[in-house]
Amino acid sequence: MPHNDDLAIFLDDFGLECKADGITAKGILDMPTQILSGDVILSTDYTLRALTTDFGALIAGKQIKVDGIAYKVREVQTVDDGKFCEIALQRT
C-alpha cells in the first residue's frame, strides 16, 4: 500500500542530518548489527532509511555522513512502494 503521508515531515521529526554527493537530507539510522566470530566482532553494520529521491542513487563504496559521522555505503535497496530506501552502512 503506498504511503500518502508527507514523508519529509516524518523525517524532520525523527531523522538525522545526512550528507552525500552534495545532497543534505534527513534519514533514520537504525541500531547497529554486529557480525561475530566467536567472541570477536568482525564488523558492525548500520542501516539508514531515507527517501529514495534523496539517496537512492548512492552506490557501494560511496561515503555518507550521518549526524557528522562518516560511513561507507555497502548496499542500497528500495523498500515497500519505493519511496524509501534502506542503505547498509559501515562506519569508517
What is the structure's pLDDT at 55? 97
β 63-66/23-29 pair status: unpaired
The domain segmentation of the chain, as residue ranges, is 7-91
C-alpha cell belonging to residue 75: 548496499
Q: Per residue in 22-34, is it b (16+ CB within 10 Å) or e — as a string?
A: eeebbbbbeeeee
Q: Each residue's pLDDT tens digit in the chain (92 positions)?
A: 454 567 778 888 889 999 999 999 999 999 777 777 888 877 788 999 999 999 999 999 999 999 999 999 999 999 988 999 999 999 88
38's CB contacts (< 8 A; 6+ apart) are: none
- Domain range 7-91, CATH architecture: Beta Barrel (2.40)
What is the structure's pLDDT at 1? 42
Global pTM value: 0.83
Strand segments, DSSP code E, in the chain are 16-20, 23-29, 33-37, 40-51, 63-66, 69-79, 84-91
